[in-house]
Amino acid sequence: MYTHYLEHKVFKTASLVADEMHYPAYVIGGFVRDCILNREGKDFDIVVVGDGILYAQNLARALNKTKAITIYKTYGTAQIKYDEIEIEIVGARKESYSPETRNPSVEQGSLEDDQLRRDFTMNAMAIALNKDNFGVLLDPFNGLQDLANKLIRTPLNPDLTFSDDPLRMMRAIRFATQLQFSIHDETFQGIKRNTERINIITSERILTELNKIILSPKPSVGFKLLDEAGLLEIIFPEFCNLKGVEIIEGKGHKDNFYHTLEVLDNICVFTNDLWLRWAAILHDIAKPATKKFEVGEGWTFHGHEFKGAKMVKRIFTRMKLPLNEKMRYVEKMVLLHLRPIALTKENITDSAIRRLIFDAGEELDDLMLLVRADITSKNENKKRRYLENYILVEQKIKEVEEKDHIRNWQPPLSGEEIMKTFNLPPGKEIGIIKTAIREAILDGVIINTFDAAYQLMLLEGEKLGLKPQL
Ligand code: CTP
């Protein structure tokens, strides 16, 4: 059922080289798992019983890729880049830990030794590559059965597997989310016992797994598992703080943890963009910090969008997310997420819509997706009302856009034009006139054209005592 995946030239060559060297060779890990799941595996992991680096060098030569090999002497591994494919090669290893230092001492082992030290039964399956057994599946831990039962389980006692590499706790939850599998109870209990060990893993590696969870079709599954295991509290405490409902005078508020997860799942139907998904995760992040119970009004979270936008940088820094335009995008989304619906509290004027279009700029469509995803009330009446308001804002945006072309707005008159007209050097007057033009356009006082802007520039110049140079 999976042998057609082995028709790739790499496997034929890997087989020939292994036979020449008299090394047993296997493709192992994620590739095998994905073949069986009928998912196209992208990278190949090959394990040989013998000197992995020597084998890799011979394979690279046979594939005509001697320039594309990287050797990691310390780890005894090598990588060959073959077009888009990364081939990872390793000699089968057995790891034993020194009981005092817990540092692994790695020594050559059999295929079974190597399989034992892998993360999950479904990732420990190997397919033989030598001529006499090409295509035979070696599955000592019933990975095939676990795959069929959609179960994630460690081959060893989970305490050993997870203490070997605590990132595997994140991987278990990531696979469960991506593949919609369950984690075997003993394995999950093992995660719960070992959560503190995640602290020895770098933030970068944790983030890679978290982002894979976020990019899954239904990330809430992963977040709930992370929370249940006790990992979320350690890696993302701000998110855990969203949990809970307080009740005063019989009035409660929504549980912002579950609300945020619903928003996140909602937005995933419409976008695969990691950063828009991050915006959904962080949109209400400052609700706990701004929560108040006000007599007569009930629960309020005034200013949570401002405070939330401010929290983004701190969270991005700690989690090793990029501190670049992606971060600024998320800040902007968090800051603006209440604006569209807030407009409907008053009469929606064209100028308010114009300001929204101007402030959101290129991100307007994304912002509207976030706002749409944010409508989650359990109260059907409330939900319908919000939805009606949302549609109203959407229509108004369309109308104003067609009329005014405010999106990606470029001033109809440049700073140079102003300097030339009044024969001015660069200085604050230019900024004052430009702002006056922009505000007048956004307020609908003048239309968004060169001529209208030119007339206003003359008037504003006059106010500043400037005379146009003829
Ligand atoms: N592996 C492991 N423990 C880890 C990481 C990897 O035991 N912490 C083993 C598993 O056998 C895994 C293989 O190394 O299948 C390859 O790892 P990797 O390429 O990181 O992951 P894949 O399982 O291939 O899955 P994905 O590509 O989705 O990350």
Looking at residues 235-258, what average pLDDT do you find?
Answer: 92
Which atom number of ligand 1 is nearest to the Cα of residue 31? 24
Protein residue with its CA nearest to atom 20 in ligand 1? 30
Same domain, 118 and 170: no
Q: Is residue 21 one of the residues assigned to a domain? A: yes
pLDDT tens digits, residue range 275-287?
A: 999 999 999 999 9
* Residue 196 CB-density burial (10 A; 0-12 exposed, 13-18 middle, 19+ buried): exposed
> How many Å lie between the centroid of ligand 1 and the Cα of residue 120?
9
Same domain, 174 and 142: no
Same domain, 144 and 226: no
d(CA 14, CA 80) in angstroms, rounded, equals: 12
Protein residue with its CA nearest to atom 12 in ligand 1? 29
Of 235, 268, 294, the one marking the end of a domain is: 235
Predicted pLDDT of residue 347:
81
Same domain, 169 and 138: no
Same domain, 87 and 168: no
- Residue among 27, 28, 45 whose CB has most ligand 1 atoms within 8 A, to mutate: 45
Taking CA atoms, 120 is separated from 34, 96, 174, 240, in Å, by 13, 19, 12, 28
Predicted pLDDT of residue 450:
94
- pLDDT surpasses 90 at 98: no
- pLDDT surpasses 70 at 463: yes
> How many Å lie between the centroid of ligand 1 and the Cα of residue 272?
23
Looking at residues 35-42, what average pLDDT do you find?
Answer: 86
> How many Å lie between the centroid of ligand 1 and the Cα of residue 168?
9
d(CA 424, CA 30) in angstroms, rounded, equals: 66
> How many Å lie between the centroid of ligand 1 and the Cα of residue 146?
17
Same domain, 108 and 191: no
- pLDDT surpasses 80 at 100: no
- pLDDT surpasses 90 at 157: yes
Task: Give the pLDDT band (50/70/90) at residue 348.
Answer: confident
Q: Is residue 161 one of the residues assigned to a domain? A: yes
Main-chain dihedrals φ then ψ at residue 70, nearest 5 degrees: -125, 130
Structural domain harbouring 204: 154-235
Of 235, 261, 285, the one marking the end of a domain is: 235
Ligand 1: lining residues by beta carbon, under 6 Å? 29-30, 43, 45, 118-119, 123-124, 165, 167-168, 171
Q: Is residue 345 one of the residues assigned to a domain? A: no
Task: Give the pLDDT band (50/70/90) at residue 470.
Answer: confident
Q: Is residue 327 one of the residues assigned to a domain? A: no
Greater model confidence, 349 or 28: 28
Protein residue with its CA nearest to atom 15 in ligand 1? 29
CATH number assigned to the domain comprising residue 164: 1.10.110.30
- pLDDT surpasses 60 at 103: no
> How many Å lie between the centroid of ligand 1 and the Cα of residue 150?
17
Cα angle for residues 193, 198, 201 (degrees, 5° grid) = 155
Q: Is residue 312 one of the residues assigned to a domain? A: no
Which of 51-55, 318-322, 375-379 is predicted least confidently? 375-379
> How many Å lie between the centroid of ligand 1 and the Cα of residue 45?
9
At 247 the three-state DSSP class reads: strand
Predicted pLDDT of residue 1:
64
pLDDT tens digits, residue range 175-187?
A: 999 999 999 999 9
Q: Is residue 277 one of the residues assigned to a domain? A: no
pLDDT tens digits, residue range 202-225?
A: 999 999 999 999 999 999 999 999
Residue 93's DSSP bridge partners are 108
Same domain, 139 and 12: yes
CB 85 within 8 A of CB 44: yes
Total domains, the chain: 3
CATH number assigned to the domain comprising residue 74: 3.30.460.10
Looking at residues 349-356, what average pLDDT do you find?
Answer: 92
Same domain, 106 and 197: no
pLDDT tens digits, residue range 417-435?
A: 999 999 999 999 999 999 9
Same domain, 96 and 188: no
Same domain, 11 and 145: yes
Predicted pLDDT of residue 40:
78
Same domain, 117 and 160: no
Q: Is residue 218 one of the residues assigned to a domain? A: yes
Which atom number of ligand 1 is nearest to the Cα of residue 174? 28
**Arithmetic mean of pLDDT over the chain:** 93
Q: Is residue 428 one of the residues assigned to a domain? A: yes
Q: Which of 203, 222, 114 is nearest to 164 (CA)?
A: 114
- Residue among 44, 116, 123, 154 whose CB has most ligand 1 atoms within 8 A, to mutate: 123
With a pLDDT cut of 90, the percent of the chain lying above it is 83
Of 196, 218, 235, the one marking the end of a domain is: 235
Same domain, 164 and 143: no
Q: Where are the alpha helices (DSSP H) in 39-157?
A: 52-62, 111-116, 143-148
What's the predicted TM-score (pTM) here? 0.90
In the chain, the amino acid numbered 418 is I
- Residue among 119, 163, 178 whose CB has most ligand 1 atoms within 8 A, to mutate: 119
